[in-house]
């Protein structure tokens, strides 16, 4: 189990910080962040990776 910070989530998804936070707020299937401290927010890398795989699978089915 590995935690990743916002910068790495942005890199993995090729999205901006603002878009990541918008997706957290509006997409039920987007991985939820965890607060390690008041100034430290992280995501489980395995959940982010699973989201990427699921998204690609949905796109492939739609094509």
| Tens of pLDDT, residues 11-29 | 999 999 999 999 999 999 9
Q: Look at the block and give the residue holding tokens 């796109």.
A: 59
Host domain of residue 51: 3-62
Distance of CA 53 to the CA centre of its chain: 12
Q: Of all residues in the chain, what percent carry a pLDDT higher than 70?
A: 100
Query: What is the per-residue pLDDT for 25?
Result: 98
With a cut of 80, say whether residue 58 has pLDDT above it.
Answer: yes
Q: Give me the number of domains the chain comprises.
A: 1
Query: What is the per-residue pLDDT for 62?
Result: 82
Distance spanning both ends of the chain, measured CA to CA:
33
The token pair that represents 20 in the structure block: 């990541």
C-alpha 37/C-alpha 11 separation (Å) is 22
What is the H or E stretch that residue 35 is in? strand 34-37
C-alpha 55/C-alpha 46 separation (Å) is 14
Query: What is the per-residue pLDDT for 14?
Result: 97
pTM of the complete model beyond 0.85:
yes
Query: What is the per-residue pLDDT for 61?
Result: 87
């Amino acid at each position: 189990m590995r935690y990743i910070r916002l910068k790495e989530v942005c890199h993995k998804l090729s999205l901006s910080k603002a878009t990541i936070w918008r997706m957290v707020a509006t997409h039920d299937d987007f991985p939820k962040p965890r607060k390690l401290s008041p100034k430290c927010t992280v995501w489980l890398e395995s959940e982010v990776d699973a989201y990427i795989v699921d998204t690609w699978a949905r796109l492939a089915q739609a094509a």
